[in-house]
Amino acid sequence: MLLIDRIGYGTWKFPPYAFYVFNVQQGLGTWFGESHPLYHVVVSMPVLFTTMLPFVIHGVWLAGRGTHITREPVYVAVGAIAMFSLVGHMEYRFLYPLLPIGFMYAAVSIHTLTSKPVAGQSKRSPWSVRRIVAFLLVTNIVPALYLNTVHQRGVVDVMSYLRHGTQNGSVTDIGFLMPCHSTPFYSHLHANIPMWFLSCEPPLLASGLDTHYWEAGEFEQRPNEFVHAMFANTSTGTHREKPSHLVLYDSMVVRVQKTLNEVGYFEDARFFNTHFNGDERRRGDVVVYRYNDHLVQSSV
């Protein structure tokens, strides 16, 4: 692995140490948002295991008693959770590798709860495999259907709309005035046209946290000034040619709609995205604005 990293980076690197320096020592991961130290315990675990979590906990408890299953995987999981909790920025997806371990302990729990009573025990267990499976299916399939077909579907639907536009020639280039990584990109568009999104790369050194410039942050703080400066006929670094279409969240539309109209953009389509979102920047529909110079001239 060290040799492969040497070939890839062009110099000797040890990625685990680089991860520690960037995320723990310098804390640059917080550039993407700072999480509570117990985030993985109170958020990640319930999100990952949902209604299976009680069975996971019971299985771990059985392992702690030294029966039914070994405890070594518990040590691995706890160590991973503790390590990732040292990082200021946390997301539940970071713990995806722990899912097989949790499922294993859940299986032990279910097997124990549904086992036939041993000799000398007359009381039959109220649990049954069918009941537990039915419970897990109902409590997971219903949310899964909603989360996969309704929740945040607008960021995908808008790409389908734009893809059809590239096929008929109405969409020639696209700009995304949204928080970084809000939508798919070329993987859903399948068209070789110019596209851009607001920059959001973190600084490389902790000393640059307070002064580092990023377009997504500037747009969030001063959206109207940012749009005027971006499309002004200047040679500044932020200048861009006007694309045929712009995409943004409805939560930003209420702040920047007048300015978009002034520079030639008018609403073309909108797509439902979420009923709820913890990030205020991503709330509401996904809205498409189309450049129309004729409407600008007629309104002057």
What does the pLDDT read at residue 48?
95
Where along the chain do its domains lie?
A: 33-115+127-149, 154-299
Cα 224 to Cα 65: distance, rounded to the nearest angstrom: 62
What does the pLDDT read at residue 278?
80
β-partners of residue 86 are none
What does the pLDDT read at residue 297?
52
pLDDT digits (tens, 9 = 90+) for 271-285: 999 998 888 889 999
What does the pLDDT read at residue 204?
80
User: Is the Cβ–Cβ distance between 216 and 31 less than 8 Å?
Assistant: no
At residue 265, the 3 state secondary structure works out as strand
End-to-end Cα distance, the chain: 63
pLDDT digits (tens, 9 = 90+) for 115-130: 866 555 555 566 788 8
- Read off φ and ψ for residue 198, nearest 5 degrees: -65, 135
What does the pLDDT read at residue 293?
74
For β-strands 286-291 and 265-271, DSSP reports them as antiparallel
Alpha-carbon distances, residue 47 vs 40, 52, 82, 114, 290 (angstroms): 9, 10, 17, 25, 38
What does the pLDDT read at residue 154?
95
What does the pLDDT read at residue 160?
96
User: Is the Cβ–Cβ distance between 42 and 92 less than 8 Å?
Assistant: no
What does the pLDDT read at residue 239?
67
pTM of the model: 0.80
The segments of the chain whose pLDDT lies below 50 read none
What does the pLDDT read at residue 51?
95
